Chain A
């Protein structure tokens, strides 16, 4: 998705921040939690217990239901449930598979792409979905300034779009473009959206009102939203993939990860997404709950300031000049123990990192050979530093080739427990190889600014990578370095200021190859180049930890096939096949605790009122006597 950055950083941030608070709470609560009754069925008052409702607990709210406005990962999960796309990513291995389009062909001269749509598809309100809707959706993005912001990554190469007949869509492209295989622009119903002007769309919420659900063509449509509480969707009977078996889908927002864990224990939610390690561990051995540490598309890295500069090459910032030297960076990389970091920072949930395209994308991921591998070897790191002229001084600390003291400034994110830990480990590793350093923790937002200005030596952060590698690869091109506007320097995507003409050349080449296999060859070359030049030390590919009620639900389809995530995928594979384990498993006691509980609260108030009134009457008589 276009939103690679926010998916990343936002999700990771929220997860880690709550870890900080969660740690304290879980420690304090451990004895209580252990004795908590866990297997009891949920009351019907919470919709989740009903056989026809599947409740997903998350810790972030949906920022907007309008696909032109929303940025957060949860919002995209709902968009893809609601609106179809031309093609989809396979659950098995992220290859391109039919979505709304059943087939597509690129003209031999690479100038046009023709998509054949499914026949007889209907919107949830019964109106036919035709090529006119597809053309409308793409033109809205192509012609709308605001509409472009979320989707221009998919439409930048498109010159025009037309519909020769009701089930055919033809795109002409400005240049050969592999992105045409992953057009993740949501197809919207023209008969609804044509009434929303370009000025109105900015504040359009796309929220349902009672009795009129939003109109979509995906597996579900949104019927109810309570800001800060939940979003409820119902199965779309007109879905071209067949109506899902579970009628209601509820995304419930928990502001506190511990409460989310408790809700899963109790059975008030059926699926708890992106859990902190503490909460995840506390759910071990809970009857009926299965935990999954799934491979995820995110990595965390130590990034070097490889020589901060603007796009035009003008140097900025105050990075240590030693870091401009690739062999110096490689030497530092030899001094970092990735295995221990994974163990200590991520509790072992994940795999040791190497390249910027994570192994979850098998066809694109590059793995170093035994010869190329940079492992953990402080002695070798020391030798490499000696060779580069950074000799050990009398105090066991290295000096620059000019003989001046060498010290690096390390920056971690104060709002992330993992970042705080990792950067302190790095300081230890640097000391081990004779490099002195200082650690400073700053808030993520502040760090973004510091990086953009080039005022750092090394920082710790992470990315989440989408199946198409273009966006991630672009962050190392010269053109993505910071830029100047009205005398002020602003950050672009590059946060290591890596700039290598050979890399840029390969980048341009891969972005014009439409054959996935041929493209992958170049993408791997680029990763090998980055690994050698080490602008980043990718130290861990962390897992996505989640848990669900396996005593009630089954039929999830992981993506990828091998130990993949069940929900929040690139696609909506699990939702169509999800089903109760048995009718009995999700049945409940039949007593409605919502009504009983509400009634009890009301009764307490009424009885309290009567008592107070009664007392007043009694005192009134004593007044009379006075």
Chain B
């Protein structure tokens, strides 16, 4: 970035010393941020344990629903679950990610289940966030540069309408129009799932087939997310409009598009960057409604099913994963922010 790289061309002795000092301050800053992150993680791990033990319900009853268990066996299972809470806590803290924890509904290790669903969710929500941020930022820049102009009015109105639409409703409309076919448009896309039976995800056909399945759910999410990025980007571009440095840039004789791209945008991009990184943390959380409409086998859906149970081991693991992702993304955003914006840096 332009601002950051200034002053390193011919460094004097004094500058070098201050560079070292600044570097020491910087590592202190980084350590503080990382330390804060680790503390939050620790809090979440502990809180997570107690949260799910306060939920009502009889997990053993759920596990044995309709099965012919004799009362002696049931009592044994209950005894295992009714161990003193402190005892359970120690076992849990020894390894919160233990592979031996089984889901009550699926009778499979929870981390295996989550692993199966992680990739589809990251693919869907990740692609949508990337697309939405690229397109949204582009719209925001265009709209903010000439606020009140025709492009601004149309794009702001349009993205706001999309933003306020319920995801499942928009998803279903797109499904009926583009998957089943309506108004003369043929049904080009599949109604659900992620890959056709009989295809391997590793083959070229499998990859193309997954892209084909991905198109509609990804489009739905992208359309809904657009406004978030375009509006924030628009606001920060508008903020920069009257700034002196832009006048200077124009005085240098730069083209209007160059003034915008090289001077206004880098400064206006900061709040949006934060937003993008915060949202990346939510990628693993999935998008329950869109995953439901398009039967996308993601994590959002898995955790929704787990809540219905309640499948406590699965919920516990899913919540751990979600919180970890958000905390890690936030710490990354903090650090990146310091890199992008020298004012935040010590």
Contact = CB atoms under 8 A, between A and B. Distances in A.
Contact of B179 (A25, A152, A266): A266
B139 to A, nearest CB: 15
A230 to B, nearest CB: 5
B249 to A, nearest CB: 10
Given A594-B212, A601-B211, A619 B261 contact: yes
B189 to A, nearest CB: 6
B180 A266 contact: yes
Contact of B301 (A203, A255, A490): A255
Nearest to A230: B197
Given A266-B179, A594-B209, A226 B66 contact: no
Given A5-B66, A268-B190, A36 B212 contact: no
Contacts, number: 226
A505 interface: no
Contact of A149 (B56, B67, B181, B193): B67
A64 B107 contact: yes
Contacts of B181: 36-37, 40, 266
Contacts of A38: 180
B78 A259 contact: no
B68 A622 contact: no
B57 A28 contact: no
Interface stretch (A321-329, A388-396, A444-452): A444-452
A55 to B, nearest CB: 8
A71 B67 contact: yes
B195 A229 contact: yes
Interface in A146-196: 148-153
B180 A37 contact: yes
A555 interface: no
B292 A256 contact: yes
Interface in A569-596: 593-595
Nearest to B127: A605
Contacts of A490: 58, 61, 74
A112 to B, nearest CB: 24
B321 interface: no
Nearest to A227: B116
Contact of B212 (A29, A597, A623): A597
Contact of A262 (B106, B191, B214, B301): B191
Interface in A457-514: 483, 485-486, 490-491
Interface string B181-203: 11110111111111111101000
Interface string A1-36: 011111101100000000000000100110011011
Contacts of B298: 228
Contacts of A449: 56-58, 61
A448 B61 contact: yes
A228 B173 contact: no
A453 B107 CA distance: 28
A45 B181 CA distance: 16
Contacts of B75: 485-486
Interface stretch (A79-87, A95-103, A246-254, A520-528): A246-254
B37 interface: no
B143 to A, nearest CB: 18
A4 B66 CA distance: 7
Contacts of A40: 181, 186-187
A626 interface: yes
Contacts of B211: 597-598, 601-602
Nearest to A269: B191
Interface residues of B, number: 81
B209 A45 contact: yes
Contact of A232 (B79, B197, B293): B197
A2 B78 contact: no
Contacts of B209: 45, 594-595, 598
Nearest to A4: B66
Interface string A587-626: 0000001110111011000000000000000010011001
Contacts of A268: 190-191
Nearest to B69: A149
B58 A226 contact: no
Interface residues of A, number: 80
Contacts of B291: 255
A228 B180 contact: no
A259 B293 contact: yes
A400 interface: no
Contacts of B182: 32, 35-37
Interface in B318-333: none
B295 A626 contact: no
A259 B172 contact: yes
Interface string B63-74: 011111111011
Nearest to A202: B107
Contacts of A228: 116-117, 295, 297-298, 301-302
A593 B187 CA distance: 10
B208 A259 contact: no
Contact of B65 (A71, A232, A597, A599): A71
- The interface centre, meaning the residue of B58, B190, B215 with most chain A CB atoms within 10 A of its CB, is B190
A594 B295 CA distance: 17
Given A227-B297, A266-B179, A150 B195 contact: no
A256 B293 contact: yes
A63 B198 contact: no
Given A5-B65, A598-B212, A485 B301 contact: no
A9 to B, nearest CB: 8
A595 B57 CA distance: 48
B208 A253 contact: no
Given A63-B106, A210-B200, A485-B71, A149 B64 contact: yes
Nearest to A34: B182
Contacts of B109: 203
A374 to B, nearest CB: 30
B176 interface: yes
A316 interface: no
A256 B254 CA distance: 55
A265 interface: yes
A149 B205 CA distance: 43
A30 B80 CA distance: 52
A10 B67 CA distance: 13
Nearest to B173: A32
Interface in B20-67: 56-58, 61-62, 64-67
Contacts of B215: 597, 601
B73, B105, B192, B254: most-surrounded residue (chain A CB, <10 A): B192
Contact of A626 (B82, B214, B254): B254
B255 interface: yes
A595 B208 contact: yes
A145 interface: yes
Contacts of A436: none
Contacts of B301: 228, 255
A265 B180 contact: yes
Given A29-B172, A152-B68, A255-B291, A594 B58 contact: no
B295 A259 contact: yes
A262 B176 contact: yes
Interface in B245-264: 254-255, 257-258, 261-262
A422 B212 CA distance: 44
A432 interface: no
A224 interface: yes
Nearest to B253: A626
Given A25-B168, A253-B193, A594-B208, 14 more contacts: A2-B66, A5-B65, A37-B184, A145-B73, A150-B67, A228-B298, A252-B193, A252-B295, A256-B292, A262-B191, A597-B188, A598-B212, A601-B208, A602-B211
9 contacts: A32-B182, A45-B209, A202-B102, A227-B117, A486-B79, A598-B209, A599-B208, A622-B258, A623-B262
Interface of B: 56-58, 61-62, 64-71, 73-75, 78-79, 82, 102, 105-109, 113, 116-117, 168-169, 172-173, 175-177, 179-184, 186-198, 200, 205, 207-212, 214-215, 254-255, 257-258, 261-262, 291-295, 297-298, 301-302, 309-310
